[in-house]
Amino acid sequence: MSDALSRRDFVATLGSAGAVWLLADVTVREDAAAHAAHQVTQAQPALAVFTREQATEIEAIASRIIPTDDTPGAREAGVIYFIDRSLATWAKDQLPVFTEGLTRLPKDVETRFAGQSRFSALAPAQQDEVLKSIEQTPFFGTMRFATLAGMFSLPTHGGNRDFVGWKLMGQENAMEFTPPFGWYDTPANRRAMLGGDA
Amino acid sequence: MSAAQGRATGQGTPRRQYATTDAVDFVVVGSGAAGGSVARELTRLGHSVVLLEQGKAYTRGDFHHDELEIVLNNKYANLPPAHVQTYRKVPDARAERRHYLLYAMAVGGSSMHYAANYWRFRPGDFNEYSRRGGVPGAALADWPITYDDLEPYYTAVEWAIGVSGQGGADPDEGRRSRPYPMPALPVTGPGVVLEIAAKKMGWRALPAPMAINSRPYKGREACHNCGFCWNFPCEWGAKSGTNFTMVPEALASGRCELRSECKVSRIETDDRGRVTGVVYFDASRTEVRQRARAVFLCANGAETPRLLLMSSSSRFPNGLANSSGMVGKHLMFNGNTGAGGEYEHEVNGHKGPPVTRIVLDTYDLHDKGFAGGGGFDFRYPFPPILSALSMPPDVPQWGAEFKQTMRRVHTRAVQCWGHTTSLPVPTNAVDLDPEAKDSWGLPAIRVTFKEHESDMQMYRYMYDRGIELLKAGGALRTWGTPPGDDPGIAVHLLGTCRMGNDPATSVVNAAHRAHDVPNLFMVDGSSFVTSGRGQPTLTIQALAFRAADLASRAAKRGELG
């Protein structure tokens, strides 16, 4: 990747506090918007990039990054559809990271669990063991970022279905809020903490 | 549609149009904090104005909570491949392609999506050099104007656009001729935590001056606390960027024609060395020439010097208005530090305006051995994806425990952000890359930038105080990364066409008039002699109002042709 400008980082890097900007092209964003508008009308989204088998593996990884427990995880959020759509549009140039990762994955599985090759067929603890072994790879870093982006971006991008990601965080989907917003700005608590200075 | 909405969208106002062959009084290049303000004042004072903006004109209906598109994919930024920049750390190095300077491409410029912190400079900011002395390796100088010169314009801007604040709360602020037009925004969770922290440190938490309406103002809504604010254009029109304030007023005057998606490539001069107009590419990339009696460059601290350098001629071989060689020099960004803290109770800093309390006890750090200083705020401006990417690093970053961390921390986290001075270093600069071109075929911006060692020490000091402040507020844990010597990306673009009385060491005079060209004016972040403490927009706008006032007087005296 010699030319930093031709690259759109799917793996986020946070700048220092003043600015957190990641780079992507204008044209691919417009593609993405058109694609999203089309996809959102379909009940069962079609896959644009992955085969069903590949999607099963990717979804299995995503659901170890944000597992399902007493609340929905990456699987229920439809993160796989977000990733597939992104790779078809604005994150097109990240596709090789996924195809290479998917190509390697059966070997990573087999190294640890002889006779096995499908990540999605492993038990959760076994899956975690495989992921720990590839935790430092670009594939896993990109998967982690893509899973978070799919969990917490607007549902129009394919993931965060019914805002399950936002609900997990305590982020309400509303255009306005009325104070107090939390514990500290509740007047009685503020007075208790600050005394006469409140 | 209400009258206010009509004004904001320009509907209901007969659109003024000027012929390109007719010399308008002023062409203003850029419609952001500076250019929008200049256009508003010049039209109010009776002048004809063509306002050129390279970005698009958006309306409220275009805005939404789409973090992926707006923040992560930088919907509004000056991005490649259309925009090209190169970067090198020091002048003898070869520059590599790297996008370093970011600003918003839109009517309103970066004021369309800023956090809207609206600190005035203190009087001592204008003569820090003579009060505190120089620093080796930095070209510190006093401003050619004082706080008192600028005060009427600070006040005029605050009332023109709507700023919420509490005059007199800061005992060290300068004289104020009028109170703020609106009371300060009600304190939110991060603000209360900062109050607790400051009290423990023996510091003062002050109500933050913010260009966000705390009540309805001039036909615009008060803030509805949606929380998608920092980096987002306001869906309510409550944030006072020039897209909602100055530009609509300029258009409503009937004397201003706004041409968006027009990229200026050159300032034209005649054989007397006076400006005759500008050349630009319109949206279809057709070259257009607009004649003008005078030109205002308000294109920001990167694009204003670039335009001057691109406008070289046999008469101005080093670039227009550059006999001093100072065009593009002294690039400053403001230092910034950031650290996170997790608190016992729900803070919910994702609701409400980004900042409601600030601390300025570190404003002057000379007694600690540093040049300059700065201030702090507490906020939690991270929308959900950035929040997920900013979890405390001492816990697993994926899996069941990570999920529980996100579930707990998003509502309980606070960021402490420090905002500081940065020194004017002559070799830190914007100029033209000798090879790279943008998609218009114009020379790419080349950035040369290396932090001054004194600034690095001061940033580290501020970072450490920020962590202390988070802990004093009761943080259960804190996290962060001290500022590195490469900021990576910069958004406050300052100092590159500095003001001064001496034509040998500055680009514009105290009236923002080019020393070398009597009918060419520059005002924006490039005018700054020193960087201020990290919140430059109000000062940019006050300078813009003052520059427009003085230029109007010159025009009325017949000096501009």
The pLDDT value recorded for residue B140 is 98
Q: What is d(CA B243, CA B232) in angstroms, rounded to the nearest whole number? A: 13
Residue A98 to chain B, least CA–CA distance (Å) = 18
Q: Measure CA B220 to chain center.
A: 22
Q: Tell me what the mean pLDDT of segment B132-139 comes to.
A: 97
Instruction: Give the chain B residue whose CA is nearest to the CA of A192.
Output: B196
* pLDDT tens digit sequence for B370-401: 999 999 999 999 999 999 999 999 999 999 99
For residue A175, which of B111, B238, B413 has the smallest C-alpha distance?
B238
- As a whole number of angstroms, the distance between CA B559 and CA B551 comes to 9
Are residues A144 and B398, on separate chains, in Cβ contact within 8 Å?
yes
CA-closest candidate to residue B542, choices B19, B107, B145, B183 = B145
Measured CA to CA, the distance from residue B230 to residue B337 in angstroms comes to 16
The CA angle B128-B133-B135, to the nearest 5 degrees, is 105
Q: Which amino acid is at B154?
A: Y
Mutate: best of A3, A5, A61, A126, partner B, most B CBs <10 A? A5
Residue A127 forms contact with B (CB below 8 Å): no
Cα A63–A64–A70 angle (5° rounding)? 70
Those residues of chain A that have pLDDT short of 70 are 1-44
Q: Are B376 and B419 in contact (CB under 8 A)?
A: yes
CA B3 – CA A197 distance, rounded (Å)? 42
Dihedral of the CA atoms B490, B483, B211, A21 (nearest 10)?
50
Q: Please compute the mean of the pLDDT values over residues B112-124 and round it to a whole number.
A: 97
Pairing between β-strand B256-259 and β-strand B49-52 as defined by DSSP bridges? parallel
| Alpha carbon distance, N-terminus to C-terminus of chain B | 42
Closest residue, chain A, to B480 (C-alpha)? A16
Taking one residue from A and the other from B, the number of pairs with CB-CB distance under 8 angstroms is: 213
Predicted confidence (pLDDT) per residue in B347-363, tens digit: 999 999 999 999 999 99
Question: CA B78, B5, B214, B490: dihedral to nearest 10 degrees?
Answer: 0
Structural tokens at position B143 = 């401003």
Q: Which residue of A has its CA nearest to B194?
A: A184
User: DSSP characters for A100-113?
Assistant: HHHHHHHHHHHHHS
Cα separations (Å) of A113 from A106, A122, A133, B12, B111? 10, 9, 13, 71, 56
CA B400, CA A168: separation in Å to the nearest integer? Answer: 12
Interstrand relation of B477-480 and B429-437 (parallel, antiparallel or unpaired):
unpaired
Nearest Cα neighbor of B85 from B331, B333, B443 is B443
Crossing angle of helices A52-65 and A124-133, in 10° steps, is 90
ipTM of the complex in this document: 0.94
Per-residue model confidence (pLDDT) at position A34:
53
Q: Where is B430: in which H helix or E strand?
A: strand B429-437
DSSP B114-161: ---B-PPPPGGGGSHHHHH---TT------SS-HHHHHHHHHHHIIII
Quick one: which of B420, B552, B441, B438 has its CA closest to B487?
B420
User: In chain A, what residues touch B420 (CB-CB under 8 Å)?
Assistant: none
Closest C-alpha among B27, B31, B25, B18 to residue B299: B31
Which residues lie across from B229 on neighbouring strands? none
pLDDT at position B258 over 70: yes
Task: Round to whole Å and give the CA distance between B443 and B213.
Answer: 41
pLDDT, mean of residues B455-477: 98
Nearest by CB to B385, which of A73, A149, A156?
A149
Q: Answer whether B399 sits within 8 Å of A65, measured CB to CB.
A: yes
Cβ-in-10-Å burial (0-12, 13-18, 19+) of B34 comes to buried
What length does chain B have?
A: 561
For residue B74, list chain A residues with Cβ-Cβ distance below 8 A: 21-24
Give me the domains of chain B, ranges plus CATH numbers. Answer: 1-81+99-113+149-162+241-329+495-561 (3.50.50.60)
Partner-chain contact B407 A71, CB within 8 Å: yes
Quick one: B369 exposed, middle or buried, by C-beta within 10 A (0-12, 13-18, 19+)? exposed
Give the position of tokens 């509004």. B76
Cβ neighbours of A191 in B, within 8 Å: none
Please, are residues B421 and B371 in contact by the beta-carbon 8 Å criterion? yes
Cα nearest neighbour of B234 on chain A: A175
Q: Which two tokens stand for residue A137?
A: 């790879």
**CA–CA distances in Å: residue A42 to residues A160, B165, B184, B373:** 16, 49, 47, 55
Please check the confidence at residue B295 and state whether its pLDDT lies above 60. yes
- How far apart (Å, rounded) are the C-alpha atoms in residues B181 and B161? 9
d(CA B182, CA B166): 8
For an interface test with B, which of A181, A189, A190 has the most B Cβ atoms less than 10 Å from its Cβ?
A181
| Helical residues (DSSP H) of B158-266, grouped into ranges | 189-201, 246-252
- Summarised one tens digit per residue, pLDDT across range B4-50 is 443 444 445 568 999 999 999 999 999 999 999 999 999 999 999 99
| A33/B contact by beta carbon, under 8 A | yes
Tell me how many degrees the CA angle B555-B556-B558 measures, rounded to the nearest 5.
65
pLDDT at B517 over 50: yes
Mind listing the pLDDT tens digit for each residue in B55-78?
999 999 999 999 999 999 999 999
User: How far off is chain B from A106, nearest CA to CA, in Å?
Assistant: 21
Q: Which of B378, B349, B406 is nearest to A181 (CA)?
A: B349
Please give the pLDDT value at position B14: 62
Probe site for chain A from B60, B73, B234 (most A CB atoms < 10 A): B73
Q: How many CB atoms lie within 10 A of CB A138?
A: 15
Instruction: Please tell me the distance in Å from B318's CA to the nearest CA on chain A.
Output: 29
DSSP-assigned beta bridge partners for residue B264? B280
**Phi then psi for B442, rounded to 5 degrees?**
-90, 150
Of A3, A6, A176, the CB nearest to B226: A176
d(CA B14, CA B197): 53
Q: What is the DSSP string of B28-42?
A: EE--SHHHHHHHHHH
Q: Return left, alpha or beta for B110; rule: phi > 0 is left, psi -120 to 50 is alpha, else beta.
A: alpha
Q: How many helices (H) and strands (E) does chain A have?
A: 9, 0
For residue B439, the Cα-to-chain-centroid distance in whole angstroms is: 25
C-alpha to C-alpha distance for B267 and B32, rounded to whole angstroms: 19
Cβ contact, residue pair A152, B188, below 8 Å: no
Percent of chain B with pLDDT over 90: 96
DSSP H helices, B258-330, are: 303-310
Measured between CA atoms, the residue of chain B closest to residue A158 is B68
DSSP for B66-96, written as a single string: -HIIIIIS-TTB--TTTS-EEEESSTTSPPE
CA distances from B482 to A139, B425, B459 (A): 28, 22, 8
The whole-angstrom separation of Cα A113 and Cα A98 is 22
Q: Which amino acid is at B476?
A: L
Which runs of E-coded beta strand occur in B438-560? 443-448, 477-480, 520-522
> What are the pLDDT digits (tens) for B66-111?
999 999 999 999 999 999 999 999 999 999 999 999 999 999 999 9
Is there a contact between B426 and B329 (Cβ–Cβ < 8 Å)? yes
Strand pairing category for B205-207 and B357-359? antiparallel
What whole-number distance in Å separates Cα of residue A89 and Cα of residue A98? 14
Q: Within 10 A of B489 (CB to CB), how many other CB atoms are there?
A: 21
